[in-house]
């Protein structure tokens, strides 16, 4: 997957976790928690969904890498490089 495809995956996961959120104006460089009403369980749901969909294991001490869209995509690029896009 390329960064654009990964971004779409993250948007899809966010939409499923927070269906009432407007993701159209999401700023990629601002923390998700500052832009959306996400709690700790929602954040864990993101991690679990990545694990379920792509078998990606994210150590708890690296969760901080998933704070913004930009950092999440950057973190996931090497992990999902060989995964075929579902699009």
- The pLDDT tens digits for 2-38 are 999 999 999 999 999 999 999 999 999 999 999 998 8
If one counts every other C-beta atom within 10 angstroms of the C-beta of residue 79, the result is 16
Instruction: Give the count of domains, the chain.
Output: 1
- pLDDT per position as a tens digit, 16-26: 999 999 999 99
pLDDT at 52 over 80: yes
Report yes or no on 67 lying in a domain: yes
**Would you state the pLDDT for residue 87?**
46
Residue 65 lies in a domain: yes
With 0.75 as the threshold, say if the pTM is over it: yes
Q: Which residue has the higher pLDDT, 85 or 56?
A: 56
In the structure, what pLDDT confidence band is assigned to residue 85 with cuts at 50, 70 and 90? low
Instruction: Average the pLDDT over 58-79 and give the result.
Output: 95
Query: pLDDT at position 86, please?
Result: 54
| Full residue range of the structural domain in which residue 34 is found | 3-20+30-79
Q: What is the CATH number of the domain that holds 64?
A: 1.10.1200.10
């Amino acid at each position: 997957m390329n960064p654009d495809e990964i971004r779409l995956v993250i948007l899809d996961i966010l939409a499923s976790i927070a269906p009432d959120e407007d993701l159209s104006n999401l700023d990629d460089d601002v923390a998700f928690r500052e832009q959306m009403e996400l709690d700790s369980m929602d954040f864990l749901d993101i991690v679990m969904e990545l694990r379920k969909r792509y078998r990606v294991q994210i150590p708890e001490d690296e969760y901080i890498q998933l704070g913004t869209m930009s950092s999440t995509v950057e973190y996931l690029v090497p992990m999902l490089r060989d995964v075929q896009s579902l699009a």
